Amino acid sequence: MRVLLTTLVITLATWVALPGGTTHAANRPNIIFVMADDLGYGDLGCYGQTTLATPHIDALARDGLRFTDFYAGCTVCRPSRLVLWTGQHTGHTAISSNASYVFKPQDVTIAELLKQAGYATGGVGKWAMGNPGNSGHPNDNGFDLWMGYLDQCEAHKYYPTHLWRNREKFPLPGNVLSTDPAARGRVAIERVTYSHDVMTEQAFDFIRQHAGRTPFLMHMHWTVPHVNNEGARITGNGLEVPDVGPYGDRDWPDNEKGFAGMIHRLDHDMGRLIDLLRELKIDNNTLVFFTSDNGAHHEGHDHEFFNSNGELRGYKRDLYEGGIRVPMIAWWPGHVAPNTTCNTPLAFWDVMPTFCELAGTEPAANTDGISFVAALNGQPQPDHEYLFWKFQQKTAVRMGKWKGVRLGNDRPWELYDLENDVSESTSIARQHSDVVEKIDRAVLIANKTTSATE
């Protein structure tokens, strides 16, 4: 139900258990959720990267909580974001592929729930759930401010002629797009204003505006290091970035230098974000998350060049670990203990109940998630009976240490013991038919999508 009684929300928000023992609503944290696009589990130093430097994000992990077994909502963009916003896994969301989806009035998002709980709500980056003139626009789904891309495919381009600030076009000076039909209006021939930089500054302005006032929620859904697909086909390098940072003298292909430059820029801006919070003196009351929308990509870039999936098998569009296991870091000075880890398997559908508990309100009744505030507190974290994903005809289930993968509805289950085979190299389904039967039963419960156009 989109509209909740304000008085009920205020009552629920008055007292809430928070890490560090604080209970009064006035001390509810600001929440910043930073999500990269197609960043692999192994692209960060704190997750094993040895070639690309990510000192600022590594510092977040050193000073906060690093999740080792955290999962995206899906292995591609749109369904993963839908899972994040609604707190439902892909057995219950309307889509489990990159099929188009527009938010309906009956859909309930994280932003709506926190806005009703008294939070100012802002977001930048890729939206993908609706446009001006339909029910899916972010302003109609809980966001006071959305600045960036509305259409998912438009987010391929890094030098567009405009972004969207709420319902108005926001011009980006100097950018000119190719008229070549093969470019599909997504390849710039004159590049002046880089979209990532503009969206980042808009996010920082929102934080400055709300610092020390009402608590705020900020979603920073950056589009790096996603490739410009059309650019890759036309120019051979779709990893568009103003400069490649410290990697200009490396003997690497230009596209891999571009990928490295994107990672450098992303890391640098995470450092700027933390500096801003400290400058505004709100770092001790601001909880920052950093993650990725799915696993490493292999589009205009070789995911093995920098070992972007680490020791995991697969990449974007797979339901093996490399396609869905993602970095996840939580940083909150004075509340989240530094240099700690959480090994409990958790996923994007757990974000809604977590944010709602922190904000002192209730999640949507149909959420599949569980709060991980206990993990933020350094306490034993409740576990799922199972985690579930589907993508087109592929299905995956994680149940404790067991991971089942089925590559088609008529294909047999593969079964892996992730404690001893995190690379999913050897299926042991025949040796553990009892586990496969449990996974089959879980799928019957989880796979209850009622409306989907795949």
pLDDT digit string, tens, across residues 87-99? 999 999 999 999 9
- Is 18 a member of any domain? no
- Within a domain: residue 297? yes
- Please give the helix or strand (H or E) that residue 323 lies within, else none: helix 321-324
On whether residue 85 sits in a domain, the answer given is yes
Domain that holds residue 253: 27-385
Token pair for residue 454?
């795949």
For residue 86, is it within any domain?
yes
The structural domain count of the chain equals: 1
Return phi, psi of residue 35, to 5°. Answer: -130, 115
Using CA atoms of 195, 196, 202, 206 in order, give the dihedral in degrees to the nearest 10: 150
409 inside domain: no
In angstroms, what CA-CA distances link 419 with 127, 129, 364?
36, 37, 33
Q: pLDDT per residue over 13-55, tens digit each?
A: 333 444 433 333 457 999 999 999 999 999 999 999 999 999 9
SS3 label, residue 145: strand
Residue 11 has pLDDT above 70, yes or no: no
- Residues 181 and 160: their CA atoms lie apart, in Å, by 16
User: What CA–CA distance (Å, rounded) separates 119 from 143?
Assistant: 10
Q: Is residue 247 part of a domain?
A: yes
Q: Which of 9, 105, 91 is nearest to 369 (CA)?
A: 91
Does residue 428 lie within any of the structural domains? Answer: no
Query: Quick one: average pLDDT of 170-182?
Result: 97
Q: Do 32 and 25 meet the contact criterion of CB atoms below 8 Å apart?
A: no
**Does residue 449 belong to any structural domain of this protein?**
no
The residues near 161 (Cβ < 8 Å, ≥ 6 apart) are: 171, 172, 175, 176, 177
User: For position 449, what pLDDT does the model report?
Assistant: 54
Helix axes 195-210, 254-279, angle to 10 degrees: 10
CATH of the domain at 316: 3.40.720.10
Closest Cα partner for 37 from 194, 222, 218? 222
pTM > 0.85:
yes
> What confidence tens digit (pLDDT) does each residue in 241-286 have?
999 999 999 999 999 999 999 999 999 999 999 999 999 999 999 9
* Tokens found for residue 177: 């797009």
